[in-house]
């Protein structure tokens, strides 16, 4: 379909109205969310499955020279025992077992996690600028490809150094996918799809955790998990996404590529079985006025148009240069850092949450699924400020409660039971519930607060800042667990600070998405949405 052959009328649509016209939450958008949801499930396997990739082997120990029988002992006890051996019948085939990452090499588990999150952090400064320059689709597909290739090579690693190198690139790709996919779903359709898309992705993420807990019973080899459960499916999804996904019209409009935006809108119309889109888009009136002024020489016209185009070229420093988004960026960096510290801190602490690790993953995943489903009506009915405040506070209080819930030494093994384990599991489910609702609302709030021209940069710096903080989380978790303490208790106090800051943010509930920064739109000609320009002869002449 060649949209350039269509007769374009002088009726002007805002990009939101154009996206509603071509079908909001229709066939094409459902195909997009299906592809991205499956990819988010693989993303969840890799992130939330790390405790299983680095699962501790089961040891049997002799504590004194006089002991005649080997007794099952904890990971910490084994390193202090007089004699120890690994019970291969009960130990999973993990990276820890394969590369002997225990006792004096245990610190390498934390180093692996930190390297992965270092890749996450660096990715935040690569993929958002790339998506601004090359487009959302290009950056999204590249991140999926990089993730798949690096995960497969991880599965073929012969030593821990090779594994660490590819684990780093895996972190780069997966964080790029997370960032750009959130931007993509916020821009590919109108408000209805935008609200439900993040919920769908969140549900796919949490359901994947439940599935992963069952899958690892049957595919226990970490190499098979990397190659067949994650790597190869990523490559298949790259091929599907490359053929099905389209560039977002909102991105094309922000770059003043109006003809390309109309072409994409018409492809969406075709897939959704809607009438062709034959109208002009917001911004074209400004472009025409810049280029057709009767009082400018040809050189001045070119210079004016070039300056107009340059308005849409932004970098990370602009997030702090413009007053309309400066404070917002500072607040969001703190909120995203809090979210990642709690979420990944808990996922890396599964072995210290009371129950057996598979049970911990399943219970917290069920809690997260319920939270994400509940976040749908919360997003639609509750304002952003109070919802972010209350759920950050709930999360913080559940974390702090763990200070008073230490597991006794005689209750550490999986088959031993005590009330402290039950209370810790209950608190862990509360933490996952609170941070999941908080995270879901935060994703929506971030997309609503940043204009299109800097949205990917805003997401990028928020996620990258959070991932920089999480570089230290695996090391903190390993260090604190060596003293049989729960690391989440410390993070709870940071949550109290985040809750207080929620009282000072700008409300976005019910407001339309902005495409340009406030500072660049103060002197623009008002847009007439869906109105025929012939109603104003004088204005029509100035645009033709």
Q: Report how many helices (DSSP H) and strands (DSSP E) the chain contains, helices first.
A: 26, 6
Q: Using 50, 70 and 90 to split pLDDT, how confident is the model at 379?
A: confident
Q: pLDDT tens digits for 192-244?
A: 787 788 889 988 998 998 898 888 888 889 999 999 999 999 999 999 999 99
Asked whether residue 306 carries a pLDDT value surpassing 50, the answer given is no
Beta pairing, strands 59-62 & 83-86: antiparallel
Residue 409 is encoded by which pair of tokens? 């030494």
Q: What gap in Å lies between CA 30 and CA 149, rounded to an integer?
A: 27
CB-based contact 152:226 (threshold 8 Å): yes
Domain 319-514, CATH homologous superfamily name and number: MFS general substrate transporter like domains (1.20.1250.20)
Who has greater pLDDT, 58 or 367? Answer: 367
Q: What is the pLDDT of residues 474-519, one digit of tens each?
A: 888 777 777 766 778 778 888 999 999 999 999 998 888 888 888 8
3-state DSSP assignment of residue 265? helix
Confidence of residue 413 (pLDDT cuts 50, 70, 90): low
pLDDT for res 285: 65
- Across 424-505, where does the E strand assignment appear? none
Whether the predicted pLDDT of 417 surpasses 90: no
- Higher pLDDT: 67 or 523? It is 67
Q: Please, what is the angle between helix 419-449 and helix 452-470, to 10°?
A: 150
- Domain 9-57+92-311 identical in fold to domain 319-514: yes
Taking Cα atoms as reference points, which of 123, 116, 34 lies closest to residue 459? 123
Does pLDDT of 399 surpass 60? yes
Answer for the pair 493, 158: CB distance below 8 angstroms, yes or no: no
Mean pLDDT of 338-344: 90
Is pLDDT of 283 > 80? no
Burial of 287 (0-12, 13-18, 19+ CB in 10 A): middle
Quick one: average pLDDT of 363-380? 89
Residue 533 has pLDDT above 70, yes or no: no
Candidates 44, 65, 3, 461; CA nearest to 225 is 44
Burial of residue 296 (CB within 10 Å: 0-12, 13-18, 19+) is: middle
Pick the residue with more confidence: 348 or 22? 22
How crowded is residue 98: how many other Cβ atoms within 10 Å of its Cβ? 17
**Pairing assessment for the beta strands 531-532 and 11-13 based on DSSP bridges:** antiparallel
Nearest to 340 by CA among 470, 464, 171, 209: 470
CA angle in degrees (0–180, nearest 5) for 317-323-329:
60
The structure's pTM equals 0.78
Question: Is a pLDDT exceeding 90 seen at residue 142?
Answer: yes
CB–CB of 374/437 below 8 Å? Answer: yes
Give the position of tokens 């200070």.
403
Asked if residues 392 and 453 have their Cβ atoms less than 8 Å apart, the reply is no
The residues, ordered by sequence, that sit 6+ positions from 153 with a Cβ below 8 Å of its Cβ are: 166
Q: Are strands 531-532 and 83-86 parallel, antiparallel or unpaired?
A: unpaired
Report pLDDT digits (tens) over 111-126: 998 899 899 889 988 9
Domain extents for the chain?
9-57+92-311, 59-91, 319-514
Q: How far are the Cα atoms of 74, 310, 413, 418 from residue 410, in angstroms, in the given order? A: 11, 67, 8, 9
The fold of the 9-57+92-311 domain, in CATH, is: Growth Hormone; Chain: A; (1.20.1250)
The more confidently predicted of residues 56 and 248 is 248
Partnered with residue 532 across adjacent β-strands are 11
Determine the pLDDT at residue 270: 93
Rounded CA-CA distance 538/540 in Å is 5
Render 384-441 in DSSP notation, one character per residue: HHHHHHHHHHHHHHHHHHGGG-PPPGGG-STT---HHHHHHHHHHHHHHHHHHHHHHH
What pLDDT, on a 0 to 100 scale, did the predictor assign at position 41?
A: 96
- The per-residue pLDDT for 498 is 94
Q: What is the mean pLDDT of residues 49-53?
A: 87
Structure tokens at 228: 């067949």
Under the banding of pLDDT at 50, 70 and 90, the label for residue 419 is confident
Q: DSSP readout, 84-116? A: EEE-TTT----HHHHTT-SGGGTHHHHHHHHHH
3-state secondary structure of 296: coil
- For residue 92, the model assigns a pLDDT of 82
Whether residue 540 is predicted with pLDDT greater than 50 in this model: the reply is no
Mean pLDDT of the 398-425 span: 76
Helix axes 127-134, 160-187, angle to 10 degrees: 50
The answer to whether the beta carbons of residues 205 and 38 sit under 8 Å apart is: no
Count of residues for the chain?
Answer: 544
């Amino acid at each position: 379909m060649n949209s350039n052959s269509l007769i374009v009328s002088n009726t002007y649509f805002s990009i939101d109205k154009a996206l509603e016209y071509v079908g909001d939450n229709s066939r094409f958008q459902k195909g997009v969310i299906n592809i991205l949801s499956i990819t988010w499930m693989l993303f969840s396997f890799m992130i939330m499955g790390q405790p299983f990739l680095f699962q501790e082997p089961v040891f049997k120990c002799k504590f004194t020279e006089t002991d005649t029988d080997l007794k099952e002992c904890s990971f910490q006890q084994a390193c202090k025992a007089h004699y120890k051996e690994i019970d291969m019948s009960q130990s999973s085939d993990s990276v820890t077992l394969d590369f002997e990452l225990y006792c004096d090499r245990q610190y390498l588990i934390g180093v692996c996690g930190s390297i992965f999150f270092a890749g996450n952090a660096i990715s935040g400064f690569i993929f958002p600028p790339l998506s601004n320059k090359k487009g959302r689709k290009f950056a999204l597909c590249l991140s999926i490809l990089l993730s798949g290739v690096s995960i497969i090579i991880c599965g073929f690693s012969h030593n821990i150094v090779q594994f660490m190198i590819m684990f780093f690139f895996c972190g780069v790709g997966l964080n790029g996918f997370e960032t750009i996919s959130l931007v993509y779903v916020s821009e590919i359709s109108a408000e209805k799809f935008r609200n439900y898309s993040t919920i769908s992705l969140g549900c796919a993420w949490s359901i994947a955790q439940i599935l992963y807990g069952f899958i690892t019973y049957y595919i226990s080899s970490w190499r098979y998990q990397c190659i067949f459960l994650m790597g190869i499916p990523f490559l298949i999804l790259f091929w599907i996404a490359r053929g099905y996904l389209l560039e977002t019209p909102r991105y094309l409009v922000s770059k003043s590529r109006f003809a390309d935006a109309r072409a994409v809108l018409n492809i969406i119309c075709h897939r959704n079985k809607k009438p062709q889109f034959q109208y002009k888009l917001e911004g074209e009136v400004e472009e025409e006025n810049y280029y057709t002024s009767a009082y400018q020489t040809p050189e001045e016209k070119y210079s004016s148009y070039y300056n107009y185009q340059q308005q849409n070229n932004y970098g990370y420093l602009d997030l702090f240069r413009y007053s309309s988004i400066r404070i917002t960026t500072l607040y969001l960096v703190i909120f995203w850092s809090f979210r990642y510290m709690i979420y990944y801190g808990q996922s890396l602490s599964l072995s210290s949450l009371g129950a057996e690790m598979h049970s911990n993953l399943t219970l917290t995943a069920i809690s997260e699924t319920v939270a994400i489903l509940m976040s749908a009506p919360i997003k639609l009915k509750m304002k952003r400020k109070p919802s972010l405040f209350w759920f950050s506070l709930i999360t913080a209080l559940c974390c702090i409660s763990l200070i008073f819930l230490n597991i006794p030494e005689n209750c550490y093994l999986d088959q031993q039971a005590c009330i402290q384990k039950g209370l810790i599991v209950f608190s862990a489910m509360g933490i996952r519930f609170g941070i999941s609702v908080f995270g879901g609302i935060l994703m929506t709030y971030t997309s609503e607060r940043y204009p299109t021209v800097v949205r990917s940069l805003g997401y990028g710096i928020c996620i990258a800042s959070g991932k920089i903080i999480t570089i230290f989380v695996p090391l903190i978790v390993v260090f604190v667990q060596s003293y049989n303490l729960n690391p989440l208790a410390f993070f709870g106090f940071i949550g109290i600070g985040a809750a207080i800051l929620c009282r000072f943010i700008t409300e976005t509930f019910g407001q339309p998405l902005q495409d340009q920064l406030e500072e660049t739109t103060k002197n623009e000609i008002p847009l007439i949405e869906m109105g025929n320009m012939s109603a104003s002869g004088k204005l029509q002449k100035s645009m033709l």
